[in-house]
Amino acid sequence: MSGVRLREGESFESLLKRFRKVVAADGILQDVKKYQYYEKPSEKRKKELLAARRRMLRKMKRNEE
């Protein structure tokens, strides 16, 4: 669980800003979005294969240049 402590003389805005940075660094929001809806295993496989194909095409394009 991510957390931050209020520093002496620190404003609430800067505390909130630090907390958001910690949450973003931990990847908590990405996990929440990832598990927001159930994804069937077949859909997950299709998504992974599509991502792998995109990576491969990008890599091939970089090698050509």
pTM above the 0.75 mark? Answer: no
Task: Indicate if the pLDDT at residue 65 is higher than 80.
Answer: no
Domain ranges of the chain: 1-34, 38-65
Whether the Cβ atoms of residue 45 and residue 52 lie closer than 8 Å to each other: no
What average pLDDT is seen over the chain? Answer: 93
Predicted pLDDT of residue 62:
92
Predicted pLDDT of residue 53:
98
Q: Is the dihedral of CA 50, 23, 18, 12 positive or negative?
A: positive
